[in-house]
Amino acid sequence: MPDQTGLDMDRLRAKQGFICDMDGVIYHGNRLLDGVARFVDWLAAEGKRFLFLTNSSERAPRELQAKLARLGLQVGEGHFYTSALATASFLRSQQPGASLYVIGEPGLVGALYEAGFTMNDVSPDYVVVGETRAYSFEKIEHAVRLILGGAKLVATNPDLTGPAEHGVAPACRALVSPIELASGKTAYYVGKPNPLIMRHAIKRLGVPVEQTAIVGDRMDTDIIAGIESEIDTVLVLSGVTTREGVKAFPYRPRYVLNGVGDIPPGGAAV
């Protein structure tokens, strides 16, 4: 496990850019996590550039902004980037104007509409899957039929679970798995740790990689995404990954902290 000395933390605090996950880092469900307000205030006071990068595809940036406002944080809409936006960008680069069958929430559907795609539940070019609570056997069955008929399968992110207010909830990959198994096709996953979404995030942040850190709660998405992008990695223990859980992976984060409240000066680093 990395040893966080005072000099190590000074090095982290000197970074000019921070890419932060949201679920398990900023909030659980509708509960703001301890130290988050202090962290966001510090980012603003120090003139840091920051981007909230979430694998969740359910909400548009405007909705994420509104959610943080309800929780007491005022953050501009431009500070958010989602796997839904990255998925729309990827599909536009592959087949502009394609038709899609989408299993997902308004954040995903809206991003795809804005990118110029049309919805088609008869003969689409792609089946696109993101997180949704409106999941059913009928939708799985229909998606499998479309894929066997030639549609390509794309998913917004590879998360199996995500932190929720009262535990964990199934995430995108858990929803896609039955479709993959029944169709015999493997989805292309756009979200972290895919380098594609990380390139988008780094470009939007506008800070050199050596001056950037990524903060997340998952070893298999946030931390490996940072390592593969040559960005300093900060694992917070406020979400999915536990201290013991880190040992199961063949790679290590640069920093391990209780939460983002440990980053500003005066925080209690692990």
Catalytically active residues, by annotation: 21, 23
Task: Enumerate the H helices of the chain as residue ranges.
Answer: 6-13, 36-45, 61-70, 83-94, 106-114, 137-148, 172-183, 195-205, 224-228, 243-246
CA distance 261 to 33: 9
DSSP tag of 186:
P
The bridge status of strand 212-216 relative to strand 17-20 is: parallel
Question: Which residues pair with residue 186 across a beta bridge?
Answer: none
Nearest Cα neighbor of 104 from 86, 118, 84 is: 84
| Number of other CB atoms surrounding residue 230 within 10 Å | 10
159, 107 in Cβ contact below 8 A? Answer: no
| Number of other CB atoms surrounding residue 204 within 10 Å | 17
CA distance 84 to 214: 19
SS3 (DSSP) at 262: helix
Single-letter amino acid, residue 192? K
